[in-house]
Amino acid sequence: MNRILTGMVPMRDGCRLFTSIHFPEGQGPFPVILVRNLYRAKGNLAARQDVTERGIALVEQDVRGSGLSEGRWENPWIQEADDGEDCLTWIASQPWCNGRIAMRGGSYLGASQWFAAKSGNDYLVAFSPGIAPCNYHESPKYQGGAFILQQNIGWALGTWKRNGPYDNTTVDTESLSNHLPLLDIDETAGLGEVPFWRKWLAHPCYDDYWREFDLASFADRIKAPAFVWSGWFDIYTQGALDSFMLMRNSAGSEEARFLTRCVIGPWAHSEPAGEIPLGDGEFSRRKFVEEPENAFLEARLKGTVPPPVAPLVYFMLGKNEWRTAESWPPPGVAERNFYLHSAGAANTRFGDGVLSMLPPEQELPDCFVSDPRHPVPTTGGHGICVPNGSHDQSGVEERSDVLVYTSETLSAPLTIAGRIFVHLHASSTAPDTDFTAKLVDVYPDGRAFNIANGILRARYRNSMEKAELLHPGEVCEFKIDLWSIANCFLPGHRIRLEIAGSDFPEFSRNNQTGGSIAEDSELRIARQTVYHDKTHLSRLILPVIP
């Protein structure tokens, strides 16, 4: 039986955090893996044999305001900077530690590592942040300027409830998603005024509040190499790739820049990727994350060189095979435009919408009505609580408020790897509205699987730092970011683009009044017009591997 110690570790402000230490056999001192956990059940001390059997001690700590730790969990993520640094320093001062510490964990446990590493602590020799954010404004809060709704209700308010005196309170995510105004959803849930909920809604723009969270603002202070991992349908897909490239280009030591690694697999936040066919190959997290992660951390903890592998390992959908690259996007990728065409009736998959590499000439625009009282439902994507991953879109493509543009059947494979954008020329009768875009792989049997999606709140069409309302009826260009994907469209398949005005409840509805999204309860209908002609080149931009 391995020895276990527990105790309360003081932070710099006197708050004490519950900490357990699992020791391997022997006298030590030992290298240490640290896990800072938001979700550990009170007093849970389950042994971690996979760590201790390799001669490594495991330290697990309940973050401030969770489990058996003191304090309040009222400053998510940012509170882990000082607390994480204090914990690293405390471990290094203990006689059972040999001065080499690594961190690991996913989601909040991954995010907590970035903030601990922010200090540049010399005792931290490696860390493995999985499924974690990079730019917290972009995700998990305001993708394209639209508030990520259901995930924040289910996760943020649900976690606040679990860590507070709310035993008889139920956070009904579905009903709360329909509540307006957004600002008092916390009170409606019976949780009082939740400080971070109010603060997030008070900062819809990317401003100094969010810069403090953004890895781009402190990557150059991180000295330890990272093993970053995520999935193509995770809420932090782009965050993982951006974090990887920031570390490779800007980390605070040559060692961190050279040794940082990344794995992106066919997963959502949890392992299943939805319904998209993945073939019979091996793609489990255990093989492609846990095994190389263990080898990476153990080598760093024992002062040896990690196994020689490519900096980036990613899964190519369609081909259902693993590929490697030195960077993201892979070298040699070239942008290719696919233009929107129709005779003015691209509504539904039965309409006349076409995707083509030929630019349009004179064509009628497409119109649809965006009604926030009857929003387009979320049917897959990057969410956590709503149906996430990849699913057949045939049903939602029968709605008249969804424009559908489809290519001809491919005679040769088309392979893409990189970030996807849609440049949409459109107008609205509203002073503010949303435009969504969804990239779909249409199979020969008609099934249509989403592989990338994005949204843009119109008031942020020029900058996430400043809101600018629309002039109703004015044609503007909207650049919609669908994040990154790697997919091979196979012969016999077709490429499809969906354009709509909502993706609910993954994202909050745009009230379309031009008022405060946080405080407005009024909902207005808007008429949207999408232009595609020789002066309005609405197009899908794909990163094609030659």
CB proximity list for 301: less than 8 A, separation 6 or greater: 31, 32, 33, 56, 100, 101, 102, 125, 126
Instruction: Tell which phi-psi region holds residue 418, choosing left (phi > 0), alpha (psi between -120 and 50) or beta.
Output: left
Give me the phi and psi of 403, to 5 degrees please.
-85, 135
Q: Can you tell me whether residue 167 is helix, strand or coil?
A: coil
Cβ neighbours, 10 Å, residue 305: 8
Q: How is residue 384 annotated by DSSP?
A: S
Exactly one of 22, 137, 269, 341 is catalytic; which is it? 269
Q: Which of 82, 234, 434, 520 is catalytic?
A: 234
CB-based contacts of 254, cutoff 8 Å, min separation 6: none
Active site residue 22: no
- Annotated catalytic residue, options 20, 107, 230, 538: 107
498 vs 478: CA distance, rounded Å: 15
Element containing residue 147 per DSSP (H, E): strand 146-147
Contacts 24+ apart (CB under 8 A), 183-187: 183/518, 183/519, 185/153, 185/157, 186/157, 186/160
Is the bond into 129 cis (omega within 30 degrees of 0)? Answer: no
Catalytic site includes residue 234: yes
State how far the Cα of 61 lies from the Cα of 63, in Å rounded to an integer: 6
Tell me if residue 423 is catalytic: no
Q: Are 222 and 255 in contact (CB under 8 A)?
A: no
- Contact status, residue 32 vs residue 9, Cβ threshold 8 Å: no
What the block records as the tokens of 542 is 């794909």
Phi-psi category of residue 488: left, alpha or beta, with phi > 0 → left and psi -120 to 50 → alpha:
beta
* Residues identified as active-site: 107, 234, 269
